[in-house]
């Protein structure tokens, strides 16, 4: 029977999980998360997560309660081996909300937290607020996914999950792109430019800022409308993307006061986006993943659905046709 008073418990905001050796993993958290008391990091080498949760209570004077758990930080090395055994523990624990965020870390997250303790005592809470902000406000900057959303994609026959990946250095914690998964194993990461296109065609369909250095331009408040069409034999896919936004910055040599010059800039941007999106989709075909859930478009009422393995064989060989249509408000007045 559990019988705690408030003074005896310490809610846990995050767990950090790292591969320690072939058999063990390191599990870490910051304590205490809420009260005015100097924080310190607790780290244990364990075989099992629940074992870690129990053994933390043997080295700390309060009992750690995971009911306020909001973030799970999984090291990239561990994610590449498969996250299902890890997240199953949280999925089955009725004390833990499925709305907790999952993120992938590249580098030593514990070292970063330890270094930052003196400067940002509430770093664990700030991390949670940052993830919540980018999720709630649909900023279109990060691929935020909670446990519930990740689980739904993981167990769907026509979807592959993804998670945000942060690179951790001694004094930096930087969003680097989207980690792509095949089933429950991370297989690779989309770098930032590909990640921006992924945000536009799948995640939030919105980017507050979209920098395209190859065209010397930054677009702002970009919204996308995506139309995907498969032919009946599933050999060809046409994807049409309407982008609207405004020109926020231009550092090229074109005279944007002239309509023809502005039209050329539009053409250059469209050509670049077609090429980059084509490369992104071909990469997904090579990786044998479908994070865009294109396979769901093969489902029709009154017909037998194809299996996920059949779909992946079709997806790998599918020919792609990509069209962009830009409607961009210019930075300056344009001569008629």
Per residue of the chain (336 residues), give pLDDT as tens: 666 776 677 777 888 999 888 788 899 988 876 667 778 888 989 988 888 878 888 888 777 877 788 899 999 999 999 999 999 998 988 888 888 999 999 999 888 888 888 787 788 888 888 888 888 766 678 888 999 999 999 998 889 999 999 999 888 889 999 999 999 999 999 999 999 999 999 877 899 899 999 999 999 999 999 999 999 999 999 999 999 999 999 999 988 888 899 899 999 999 999 999 999 999 999 999 999 999 999 888 878 888 888 999 999 999 999 999 999 888 777 776
Separation of alpha carbons 311 and 272, rounded Å: 29
Q: Which helix (H) or strand (E) holds 89?
A: helix 84-92
Q: Which helix (H) or strand (E) holds 51?
A: helix 49-59
Separation of alpha carbons 34 and 262, rounded Å: 54
- Note the pLDDT of residue 53: 79
- Note the pLDDT of residue 31: 81
Helices 49-59 and 84-92: crossing angle in degrees, nearest 10, is 70
Separation of alpha carbons 336 and 319, rounded Å: 40
User: 52: which 2 tokens?
Assistant: 């870690």
Model confidence, pTM: 0.90
- Note the pLDDT of residue 62: 79
Separation of alpha carbons 7 and 31, rounded Å: 14
- Note the pLDDT of residue 33: 61
> To which residue do tokens 């910055």 refer?
249
Is residue 267 within 8 Å of residue 130, measured between CB atoms?
A: no
Q: State the distance between the two ends of the chain, measured CA to CA, in whole angstroms.
A: 79
Is residue 46 within 8 Å of residue 55, measured between CB atoms?
A: yes
Residues 6+ apart with CB under 8 A from 328: 219, 243, 244, 245, 246, 247, 266, 269
């Amino acid at each position: 029977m559990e019988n705690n008073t408030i003074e005896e418990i310490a809610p846990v905001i995050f767990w950090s999980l790292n591969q320690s050796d072939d058999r063990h993993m390191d599990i870490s958290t910051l304590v205490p998360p809420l009260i005015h008391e100097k924080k310190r990091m607790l780290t244990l080498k364990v075989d099992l997560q629940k074992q870690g949760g129990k053994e933390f209570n043997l080295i700390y004077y309060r009992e750690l309660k995971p009911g306020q758990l909001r973030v799970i930080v999984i090291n990239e090395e561990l994610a590449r081996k498969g996250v299902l055994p890890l997240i199953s523990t949280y999925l089955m624990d009725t004390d833990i909300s499925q709305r907790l965020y999952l993120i992938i870390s590249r580098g030593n997250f514990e070292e970063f937290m330890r270094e930052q303790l003196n400067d940002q005592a509430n770093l664990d809470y700030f991390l949670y607020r940052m993830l919540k902000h980018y999720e709630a406000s649909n900023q279109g900057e990060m691929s935020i996914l909670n446990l519930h959303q990740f689980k739904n994609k993981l167990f769907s026959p026509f979807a592959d999950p993804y998670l945000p990946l942060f690179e951790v250095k001694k004094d930096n914690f930087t969003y680097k792109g989207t980690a792509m998964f095949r089933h429950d194993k991370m297989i690779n990461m989309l770098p930032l430019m590909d990640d921006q296109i992924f945000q536009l065609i799948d995640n939030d369909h919105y980017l507050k800022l979209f920098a395209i250095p190859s065209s010397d331009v930054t677009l702002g408040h970009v919204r996308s409308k995506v139309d995907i069409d498969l032919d009946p034999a599933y050999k060809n896919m046409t994807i049409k993307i309407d982008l609207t936004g405004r020109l926020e910055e231009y550092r090229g040599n074109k005279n944007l006061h002239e309509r023809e010059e502005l039209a050329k800039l539009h053409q250059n941007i469209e050509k670049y986006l077609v090429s980059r999106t084509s490369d992104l989709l071909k990469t997904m075909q090579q990786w044998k993943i479908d994070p865009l859930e294109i396979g769901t478009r093969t489902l029709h009422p009154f017909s037998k659905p194809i299996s996920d393995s059949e779909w992946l064989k079709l997806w790998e060989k599918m020919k792609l046709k990509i069209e962009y249509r830009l409607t961009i408000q210019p930075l300056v007045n344009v001569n008629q």
